[in-house]
Each structure stands twice: as C-alpha cells, then as structure tokens.
Amino acid sequence: MARAAVALINLDALRHNLQRVREAAPGCHVMAIIKANGYGHGMVRVARALASADAFGVASIDEAIVLREAGIETPITLLEGFFEAQELALIQRYRLGVVIHHAAQLDILEAHPLSTPIPTWLKIDSGMHRLGFAPEKAQDAWRRLKACRWVANPIRLMTHLASADDRHSPQTLHQLECFNAVISGMEGERGIANSAGILGWPQTHADWVRPGIMLYGVSPFVDGAAVDDVQGCTNAAGAGDGMDAGGRATQGAVAGCAGAVDALKPVMTLTSKLISVNRFKKGDAIGYAASWVCPQDMPVGVVAIGYGDGYPRHAAPGTPVLVNGKRVPLIGRVSMDMVTVDLSSQPGAQIGDSVTLWGQGLPVEEVARCASTIPYQLLCGVTQRVRIVESGERYD
C-alpha cells in the first residue's frame, strides 16, 4: 500500500487567489511567481492552473525550459536574468524575457548579436542590496540598454521590496521614494509590489505586480495576519490610492487589504494517517532522546509523516496537528518517517484516522512559527516521496 503522506493541491484555490490579486491591485498586470517548483506545489501544474496570468516569473532558464516544453505559452521572465553568454541562444529559442541587474550582463548583451530583441527588465537596487543597479548607476545602465539593438523597447523598470512584510517598517516607503527618484525621466512600465506590497502597500502597485506566496494561500506578513491597523500603510506622496491627506491608509483601504488576506485559500493541504495508537503511563518517555515524558497516563498516536517527507524537524512539542479535524499537540521529536501526538482529547481515535499537518483548517503559517521557520520553507520542502493529489478543474 502507498505511503499515507499526501499533499492535496487545490487548483481552484490557486485561481481564486489569483483573482484576489486582481481585486487587490486593479488595473495592474500580474506576473505570477512560480519558481522553486511553484513553491513546492508543482511548477507546471501551477502554470496550467494560472493560465490567465499575464506572465510568469522563474529563477532560472532551466525552470523556463521545463515550462515551455510542457506547452506553456504565457510570457516568462527570468528573474535573475542570464548567467553566461551561452544562455542567450536558449533565451531566444524559448522566447523568454530577462531581468538585467548587473553590468556584467550588459557587457554580454552588447557583445553578442541576436536575431531578435529580447524583452528586458532593468532592476534597480532601491534598498534590498541583493540584486540590481545602484541608484547612481541606473541611468547609465538604462541608456546602455536603450542603445543595445538586442533589447526590446520600451525597457521595463523594477525593484524588489525588502521589508514590505513588516507593516511597521519605514523601509518600504524609503525604497519607493528612491525608486521613483531614480526612474524619473525613464519611460517604461514599472514593477514594484510583491505579495506583501500588493496587500499592504497600495502605493507600490504601479503597472505590474509580482505575487508569490499569496497565490498559494499564505499571508505574506511577518505576523502571519491580515492588515488590521493603519501603521503599515503610509504614503510618502500624500493622499491618493486609498491614502488620506496625512499619508495613512484609509479605513476602507485597510479593510480591503485585510479582506483580501482573509479571503486567500490554502492551496496545499499536507495529510497523513494514524498508523499506531498506544497507551502509555505517567513518566514514560516518547521518542528519540527521551526528551518528552508523559505527564499522566495517556493515549499516544503515531502519524506517518516526518522530516523525510518535508515536515519540519524542529517543530516543537505543542505544534498543532489535526486528527479527524480536531487539534491535538505534537509531542516528542520529529523523526524521519513519523511524528507522535497526544490523543488525550480524542480517546476514540484509531489507526487509519485522518491527520492534517497544515493547510485546510490549519494555517501553514502557524506550523512554521512553531518550527521557528517561514511558510515558504515548509511548502518548498515537501519531498518527492509525498504523493500529490489534485482537486479542482484542470486545464491541460
């Protein structure tokens, strides 16, 4: 019999979340970010479900080629651009767009003639300090791109927000001010907002938005919650775009952002089953290193899931798990193939009963906090031995 660990992927939830993006950022083009195997959900599966997106963003040419060879025709952008000159032929062959973020890429473009111009984004470092041209070098990079015959015009302009997930950080406004100052006089569509920008900072919406984690039904905010106050939405430009004259989000704008987060639907639900139920006495130790001791006589369940499946090794005792839809706490250490749970509140639980590790009814954000990590890592970390089961209408 197949292993009990299953990841249920709800394709309708994916499409629902894309619609929430469009409602939160009306009038914007949407580049759906599906890198890292669609955040662990299956990149081709996600691309087919999100066929109505205006473009897809991936990290590398290998990911883009997988999509093209699967029949995906939607425009694709390489978010890290190309790494060497040999990739330019593949970029043309597979009709890909690129992000130019370093002078070395400019040198390669200028030195290698192409048969047709390629769609290009110029990335500006407005404060993330990871990829992108420094503000004082951006104008020269833009002029070089405009002069390059192998670059399609107009050139699009982008930056990446470092702290939009923290609605109390002033960095987003500083980055927006920097970006707007740098691109003054440059024509071209602009792209700024990630998921947190889309939901928490409407002044960053610009022409394109780049949703990632919210497409998969996960809050992008560090507190894992919706926008429930006005502290994080301020606008250096003053009133407009849902802002009052003092530069704070109006109550209507805040309610709209909060509603958009609350309306997201989890796409992945990680499930398994109880494979053992036993009673232990007060003082009995459970699991490796005898690190957890029964405080009383109690039933203990064993679930067929572990870090070999992608469940977090450092999930602490007390991490919630759903057994038959009801919460029970994790106890003992997570092992490669199994976890143990306290069934004191469910004395009738038995072998074969369903278990939810995260997803529908149990936010992955909550599990991530209990494991001192982030939801991105949990979703991307689900391993190949977990069986994938799709639900929702397919468009193959």
Confidence of residue 224 (pLDDT cuts 50, 70, 90): low
Is residue 4 situated within a structural domain? no
Do 239 and 363 lie in one domain? The reply is no
| 215 and 356 co-located in one domain | no
pLDDT band at 260 (very low <50, low <70, confident <90, very high): low
**Range with the poorest average pLDDT among 207-216, 242-251, 274-283, 338-347:** 242-251
DSSP state of 362: B
If you average pLDDT over every residue of the chain, what do you get? 91
Query: Are residues 272 and 258 part of one domain?
Result: no
* H or E element that contains 11: helix 11-24
Nearest to 150 by CA among 119, 182, 177, 186: 119
pLDDT band at 229 (very low <50, low <70, confident <90, very high): very low
Q: Do both 42 and 117 map to the same domain?
A: yes
pLDDT digits (tens, 9 = 90+) for 351-395: 999 999 999 999 999 999 999 999 999 999 999 999 999 998 665
Average pLDDT of 321-339? Answer: 98
* pLDDT > 60? residue 59: yes
Q: Which residues, including other chains, have CB under 8 Å from residue 264's CB and lie 6 or more apart?
A: 16, 17, 20, 214, 217, 218, 219
C-alpha distances out from residue 391 to 12, 50, 197, 265, 366, Å: 7, 14, 29, 13, 24
CB 172 within 8 A of CB 197: yes
Closest CA to 168 of 94, 238, 232: 232
Number of domains observed in the structure of the chain: 2
Q: Which residue has the higher pLDDT, 142 or 242?
A: 142
pLDDT the model gives residue 396? 53
pLDDT at 262: 75
Percent of the chain with pLDDT over 90: 87
Q: What is the pLDDT of residue 253?
A: 47
Note down the domain range covering 352. 268-391
Kindly state whether residue 329 falls inside one of the protein's structural domains: yes
Percent of the chain at pLDDT above 70? 89
Instruction: Of 308, 317, 325, 311, give the one whose Cα is nearest residue 270.
Output: 311
Is 249's pLDDT higher than 90? no
Helix axes 135-147, 171-182, angle to 10 degrees: 40
Same domain, 287 and 248: no
Residue 319 has pLDDT above 50, yes or no: yes
Residues carrying an active site annotation: 35, 288
